[in-house]
Amino acid sequence: DAGVIQSPRHEVTEMGQEVTLRCKPISGHDYLFWYRQTMMRGLELLIYFNNNVPIDDSGMPEDRFSAKMPNASFSTLKIQPSEPRDSAVYFCASSPGTGSHEQYFGPGTRLTVT
């Protein structure tokens, strides 16, 4: 079975532009998580979904960030407008929601906002 798929792997954009990051979770996993990783702040949870419903978005930095999960196999994280301080690696992860609830991470999207 394929792991978590994220696209694009790298994104370079100019300040003010809209950025959309995409994620396909592992089939059958009920939970999906979006994280941001920076040197300064480490790995931060932005939002997570259960059965396509957002459960906790308290980590979303501000209104410029939004996330959707229209179906069980697809989620997006959108930043509009983007700013240089948004530069980070963004990870998507999914979890089966049973057992130990470990998370399976995608390869990440490295975002650079100039």
Partner 1 sequence: AQKITQTQPGMFVQEKEAVTLDCTYDTSDQSYGLFWYKQPSSGEMIFLIYQGSYDEQNATEGRYSLNFQKARKSANLVISASQLGDSAMYFCAMREIHTGGFKTIFGAGTRLFVKA
Please give the residue ranges that form the binding site for partner 1 (CB under 8 A).
Answer: 31, 33, 42-43, 45, 48, 50, 55-56, 89, 91, 93, 95, 97, 100-108, 110
Our CB check for partner 1 shows the closer of 8 and 16 to be 8
Our CB check for partner 1 shows the closer of 93 and 113 to be 93
Q: What's the chain's Rg over C-alpha atoms? A: 13
Smallest separation (angstroms) from partner 1 to the CB of 84: 21
Largest CA distance in the chain: 43
**What burial class does residue 66 get, using C-beta atoms within 10 Å of its C-beta: 0-12 exposed, 13-18 middle, 19+ buried?**
middle
